Structure 1
């Protein structure tokens, strides 16, 4: 009887392992600057039209010219593994070596730059829309890191408008997203059960609102006019710096120094939550690799030790403060934590980043799940944010979740 009970527990645990929600795996310290995009988009969240190229680039700083391999898996809308086998969603093969790499040129930091493009000679085509995970392995078949991407079919029109919150308590701090899905070209059977939408703010899947169902239908249109369910904190414009010329102090940089590598010291930042909102154009948390003297920044841009500093905030003195942005896929860990320097009376952090233009902000966080993005920067309804709406559909009897539409909107012209 005990053996039977143990077997049942083992089966249940194994089932959860197989069918549970899968998250991205963060890279080790020697893997830097993971740039994931489509062939026509400059974004760290690839949402690609079916048939479009997907491009993954990254640097390995260990100087080994190591071999890396990639695998591609298909997922349901909630990032649980789909039932499709590889031949149903892919023409060709994965588990192939990434053949395209170059070593850095004329840099203090030695690194190898790898580039993977799909489709390629081995992986000829991704055949269906939906959620995908691209995983990179080393020579010992150990997982190094993984990244999510999506492929969509343009089957429905998705209208996105951004408005102020209808809740008086948050009218100055929140933005809400209204959605209209026009399905003139295809019938959507039982849409409250078969259609699901996800709203992504500034390409950050970690703060996305998912599994939004249509509120009501009018003819061929699905209408989403929620308040609480589709509301986001407005946040504030990102801070930024630029160091495309590593030998001179550029935008946001107070001074430079050369030791084993270049060191760039940023101007000390301060909290903005209690100050009035000021419009300051940003790229919504993203970054771009640049080098003013290089023809190919991918291999000629150098790595620089970036020194962040933040004035202390009395109300947050017992809280964990982190540097936050798309430069590391919005990961919060020990490498992003600010440490209080009693001698200088500031919080500091030092990161090794590739030359370029970077957006960043400071957040209060205890891991990815408990984050207060506006505790230091503030939340303002006027903040310019980008919103993407991804629409999933699984027809009655369907075996996987298709992505049938993509909509995009901005709060630059937010209305009541």
Structure 2
């Protein structure tokens, strides 16, 4: 028989579980190339207008042709589960098997490509804006991986401008974001409590700035002109390589080798933290799967071992963990993209299995669980970065956080 104390403990545990923050779970090694996007060709953080199709695609390299299922969870601004029932935010049902899959064709690496499109015959659409988690399970109902995405409504204009830092100590290294929120035909009630913002640089949620409060109001407009609180390190342009033809050296690829699979050896990159800024066009950390034959890129693009190398400055502490960083693995840091220092050659190296295409990447360090994107690349205010601002609104008495507007710009025209 349960005692009163036991009942209270179980209730508190259930309450904590229900309202704890949901974090993304990275995929195991046999799952590669998770493309999660709306109607853009390149993979990036899915921020999608309500009513727009959503596509999740991934490759499984174990050759088992396993069954995978998807579940969709609506979340609050802070990524805790919302109190909405499934029927309130989904038109149809989730927890369905992903039926659209194909085996690779004419590739050295055998894999199965799975593709989920929403709407489909079971999940006919998403009815509410806000934060969402897409979770993929195997046939044993074990979580394999999960990804965040956002659905927004076009109910507010969000104006952005990118400025240099006002702090003279960081004027050459940081970029700050100024925001003007202008609702369309309605009043934002008590905005200090009901309005929240999320500022995302280069589609990377790990470095996002959240929940800034409006500083001023002019009529219905909310004005944000923070300095320190809305500042990002400028970073540097991403390195890139293209291997849509795995049998020939191309942009960024120095030489190739055929073993069991093709191996592409990239040019050795240098540490740029102590060098002047040089403009180098990039796609801000994202990637695009493609091949030279213009076939079905999902099943006809092969996997290649890509060999990265970095030559650090003589003063660099080579005991520092260094990682190959980018959207290709959702900006995760793990043993797969951790580099090893070769003392005899004086360089860091890493070998990563990637699907052929066009990739952006950079090198970052990890100290005390803190990622430093500028330790190797440097930080420059001139760097062209992409910025998104999402505006969340929960009116008085409302049960969930809507996303009422999206603003997007780049720092290409940064001003003082």
TM-score normalised to the size of structure 2?
0.97
Separation of aligned partners in 1, 2:100 and 2:367? 38
Deviation per residue, 1:269-324 (Å, 9 max, x gap): 11000000000000000000010024111111100001111113333222111110
Aligned-partner SS, 1:88: helix
Aligned-partner SS, 2:299: helix
Query: Could you tell me whether the CA contact under 8 Å between 1:321 and 1:338 is conserved in 2?
Result: yes
Aligned-partner SS, 2:316: helix
Structure 2: runs of 5+ lacking an equivalent: none
| 1:49-198 matches, cutoff 5 A | 49-198=49-198
Which residue does the alignment assign to 1:232? Answer: 232
Separation of aligned partners in 2, 1:41 and 1:359? 15
Deviation per residue, 1:106-151 (Å, 9 max, x gap): 1000001111000110001211100111111111111111111111
CA positional deviation for 1:7? 5.6
Aligned-partner SS, 2:270: coil
Which residue does the alignment assign to 2:37? Answer: 37
Deviation per residue, 1:210-268 (Å, 9 max, x gap): 11111110101000000011000000000001101100011111111000000011111
Which residue does the alignment assign to 2:311? Answer: 311
RMSD: 1.5
Separation of aligned partners in 1, 2:169 and 2:51? 45
Deviation per residue, 1:6-57 (Å, 9 max, x gap): 6655544443322111110000101000000013563421111111100000
Which residue does the alignment assign to 1:253? Answer: 253
Find out whether 1:365 has 2:366 as its counterpart: yes
Query: Could you tell me whether the CA contact under 8 Å between 1:33 and 1:354 is conserved in 2?
Result: yes
Which residue does the alignment assign to 2:326? Answer: 325
Query: Could you tell me whether the CA contact under 8 Å between 2:41 and 2:288 is conserved in 1?
Result: no
Query: Could you tell me whether the CA contact under 8 Å between 2:160 and 2:409 is conserved in 1?
Result: yes
Deviation per residue, 1:66-89 (Å, 9 max, x gap): 111100010001100000010111
Aligned-partner SS, 1:17: helix
Which residue does the alignment assign to 1:353? Answer: 354
TM-score normalised to the size of structure 1?
0.97
Query: Could you tell me whether the CA contact under 8 Å between 1:294 and 1:301 is conserved in 2?
Result: no
CA positional deviation for 1:391? 0.2
Query: Could you tell me whether the CA contact under 8 Å between 1:69 and 1:138 is conserved in 2?
Result: yes
Which residue does the alignment assign to 1:275? Answer: 275
Which residue does the alignment assign to 2:337? Answer: 336
Deviates more, 1:25-34 or 1:333-342: 333-342
Separation of aligned partners in 1, 2:116 and 2:403? 24
Separation of aligned partners in 1, 2:126 and 2:343? 54
Deviation per residue, 1:161-196 (Å, 9 max, x gap): 100000000000000000000124111100011000
Separation of aligned partners in 2, 1:132 and 1:257? 42
Query: Could you tell me whether the CA contact under 8 Å between 2:235 and 2:374 is conserved in 1?
Result: yes
Separation of aligned partners in 1, 2:205 and 2:21? 14
